[in-house]
Structure 1
């Protein structure tokens, strides 16, 4: 019997290796080898309703879409390096992928120097994806940017939308599931290497650019010139978190440790503002695939702070309650990895080294629910007349303009009312509930009667109407929620929503 089991195991391994050889490996080369200057090359890359674009745009970065947005690609190899600048033959055009970061930053600087305000949306894809033109994540990211551009197009003072897609070899084999599932451990290790590589240069340069031009705008009495939203999914969440958690912790500890010390006199050249100190205006992880133990340090320093007034979170991790990949498969894989690890402090640590942050109840700060499905549910309509994101994508021209303008008005009013009401409460509430246009409801999670309702680091558990499973990263309900939360960082000038009165108490 034992011999029979061994034969079956060896046969399975041989079949797997044969499938790899027959199926082949996914490309180790960059997909975006033609780097163009959008100020000189105006070739359009129009997209259809599914997010597909013309074949001639497949190797370009950026893609320029009808003057609405630009989609830049920055790709990294399995060691986290930019791809080398090479040519397939002496007569071939050189591969320009090594120029991706420099070209992106030069383009961004041109907009900002020309006093064109920008909205940067960065996405780090996860496992089983890459930067191919017809990758599902690429196509859906185009649709996200389309929606973001529509939001700006009909505003009195619009921002230029700049999309950045971070590509890495999340799909190593040209094989279908379930065989591809066996790449879990290998791709997790690759994501860790990518997070420690040149992607950190990109994030640092974006942060420096935002700091400089936002400070310049502040001195001139203008709104912040650059707004940045960073999103990471699955192992892309691991990459984004590992590469930014250090600066996040630095920002939070500086605020805590130096709060009772007098400010030092600073010159104009190194003046710092709250606007400039964030790594990005908001960082969002969706179904992140890394151990909750890595989240401990950020969670700890964030919860040492008590804010009297509402401040938009700088970091949100959002995990679906129905995500089996991080809820079941991830801890199963970690069980094998941790066989020889011994927790030194508590049962909490034993859980944290196996579970992701979204499936470790000890770290949950909020619960997010979709709109009630029961029409008789006892709640009043939220933002009546508001149009959902999936419906907006089917509209054009005047109809789209009216819907987007109305949505913005309703969302701003909803946010202002919530913030003003929260800041007016004294003492500060230990918990609260917030409703969003579209019907989503956010509740602060209390654990053992202790809760930090004003923390700047959120770990949100969402039901399936917001994110259904692991790969539902572009669910319109999720994007509507994230967009409204991101809007808190850029509310229009006007009433201070009770902030001054809150600060004075």
Structure 2
């Protein structure tokens, strides 16, 4: 065979590989009619789904999708999802949970992240039915192209391409969607101005991997604004607020330096927090996550090679008013992810050696009350995990940066072990259960 024919053959094979290996570049959920979901395979094209109507594990799940430039594939999709949830939230108390997937995932009906998110929604619905306040659980799965190439091994080369895409998605339309979801959660309170009722609806947002980067990019400015709260005529101090009630980032793939300002303002003067302060941001990173702990800093070494960095004079808090000076190497913070930068780690999550069987009607208010009584270097036992305070922040700091034991999260994508799902359920219930009772 001539060289010319070899070149033609190779070109043809590469073309076929490229065409068959590209991830779908279009929305998956194109049917906007509500659909009752009972088992895997149901409602494959539907953007609005209802699981187990009238049962203790009832929940709603809807999909909103973005393209590579951070634009909604169809604004009509978002509108239909919001329009389906508004009447529910206007009548009933709701717990709305939004999830943004990461690298190698999308809104494909067979995507494993969707199945795992359903498990979390089921646990939350059961907790609400038995030990909670009976809120309806509404889920929103925010999809984007987590892979540009689907061929195994080869798609590992998409890491930096998808990192850039994640930042575009976070900088564009996701913020609008999250603020509109917050509007839904608040709609009932706005309708009850004549006879106000206790405000029980809550919003939780979760992002994994580059989905964590999407979420943090979309919310960073909002979180800073709501912590400081510079509204006109403000004459009081209160609890720090966030977007909705809790933001959770799992193995997030973004630089620790991007978290610096938020961490600094929460540590300012080693101020105290009210006992009513609940968690607003929780970052969970596996100690064995090689994607964010090993590959990420190698890539950042080359991409920051010509940048200049300095050393920052900052401090830890050994207690209220107990300032402990420390130095932050900007270069290290710019090359390592937020969960693998030791100066910013505040907690560690370990498995418990033994777990106590919970009753069906477990008291989540008691769990919330116990949270308010934390101590520096103390521990907090959940159902099957233990959260250890590392002594770098004052108790009740609303921002938690948690190193997770490898037996709970092994590597980058293994985030849905039963123990972690239970931990997320409890943290969500702590952060969202209304009517906190503090001793």
TM-score range, shorter chain: 0.7 to 0.9
1:297 to 241, 244, 261: 261
Is the CA contact 2:170–2:217 (under 8 Å) kept in the aligned structure 1? yes
Q: Match of 2:350?
A: 369
Report what 1:378 is aligned to: none
Q: Are residue 118 (structure 1) and residue 71 (structure 2) matched?
A: no
**Cα 1:157–1:434, aligned 2, differ >3 Å: closer, same or farther?**
closer
Offset of 1:491 from its aligned partner? 3.5
CA contact (8 A) 1:217 1:224 kept: no
Shift of 1:291: 0.6
Distance 2:129 2:274 in 1: 36
Q: What is the aligned counterpart of 1:460 among 402, 421, 425?
A: 402
Q: Choose from 432, 435, 456 the match for 2:381.
A: 435
Aligned-pair CA distance for 1:108: 1.9
Q: Distance in 2 between matches of 1:417 and 1:76?
A: 40
- 1:144 deviates by 1.8
Alpha-carbon shift at residue 330 of structure 1 (Å):
0.8
Question: Does 2:29 align with 1:53?
Answer: no
Residue number in structure 2 paired with 1:394: none
Q: Which residue of 1 aligns with 2:369?
A: 416
Checking the alignment, whether the CA contact within 8 Å between 1:231 and 1:285 is kept in structure 2 is: yes
Distance 2:145 2:371 in 1: 42
1:154 deviates by: 3.7
Moved more, 245-254 or 152-161: 152-161
CA distance in 1, matches of 2:400, 2:422: 17
State the partner residue of 1:316.
282
CA contact (8 A) 1:312 1:485 kept: no
Which residue in 1 is equivalent to 2:323? none
1:64 aligns with 2:28: no
Aligned-pair distance for 1:139? 1.5
Name the residue aligned to 1:151.
Answer: 127
Query: 1:56-84, CA deviations, whole angstroms, 9 ceiling, x for partnerless residues?
Result: x111011221211111100000001111x
Residue 342 of structure 1, aligned match among 308, 311, 317: 308
CA offset at residue 489 of structure 1? 2.6
Q: 2:70 maps to which residue?
A: 80
* CA–CA distance in structure 2, aligned partners of residues 157 and 307 of structure 1: 26
Structure 1 residue ranges without an equivalent (≥5)? 1-12, 84-96, 265-272, 373-380, 387-402, 423-428, 499-505
Name segments (4+ residues, structure 1) moved above 6 Å. 13-16
Q: 1:118 to 1:21 in 2, by over 3 A?
A: same
Match for residue 134 of structure 1?
110
Greater alpha carbon shift after TM alignment, 59-68 vs 243-252:
59-68
The residue that corresponds to 1:182 in the other structure is 157
Q: Deviations over 1:190-248 (max 9, x none)?
A: 01100011111111212233344346569745332421111000000000001011111
Q: SS where residue 459 of structure 1 aligns?
A: strand
Q: Which has the higher strand share?
A: 2
Quick one: distance in 2 between partners of 1:234 and 1:369?
21
> Is the 8 Å Cα contact of residues 112 and 225 (structure 1) preserved in structure 2?
no
Tell me if the contact between 2:89 and 2:187 (Cα under 8 Å) persists in the aligned partners. Answer: no
Instruction: Please say which structure displays the higher CA radius of gyration.
Output: 1
Equivalent residue number for residue 334 of structure 2: 353
Matched residue, 2:316: none
Task: Give the secondary-structure state (helix, strand or coil) at the position aligned to 1:303.
Answer: helix
Q: 1:315 to 1:218 in 2, by over 3 A?
A: farther
Write the distance in 2 (CA, Å) between the matches of 1:459 and 1:250: 20
**Contact between 1:119 and 1:227, CA under 8 Å: does it hold in 2?**
yes
Q: Decide whether aligned partners of structure 1 residues 212 and 472 sit closer, same or farther in structure 2, where only a CA change above 3 A counts.
A: same
Superimposed CA distance per residue, residues 342-399 of structure 1 (whole angstroms, 9 cap, x where no aligned partner): 2133561111111001000010011111112xxxxxxxx65x322xxxxxxxxxxxxx
The two structures have a TM-score, normalised by structure 1, of 0.75
Instruction: Give the 3-state SS of the residue equivalent to 1:44 in structure 2.
Output: strand
Count of matched residue positions in the alignment of Structure 1 and Structure 2: 410
- Identify which of 242, 245, 249 aligns with 1:278: 242
- TM-score normalized with structure 2 length: 0.86
Give distance in 2, aligned partners of 1:243 and 1:296. Answer: 16
Q: 2:319: which partner in 1?
A: none
**1:489 aligned to 2:435?**
no
Worse-matched range after superposition: 155-164 or 23-32 = 155-164
Counterparts of 2:38 and 2:146 in 1: how far apart (Å)? 26
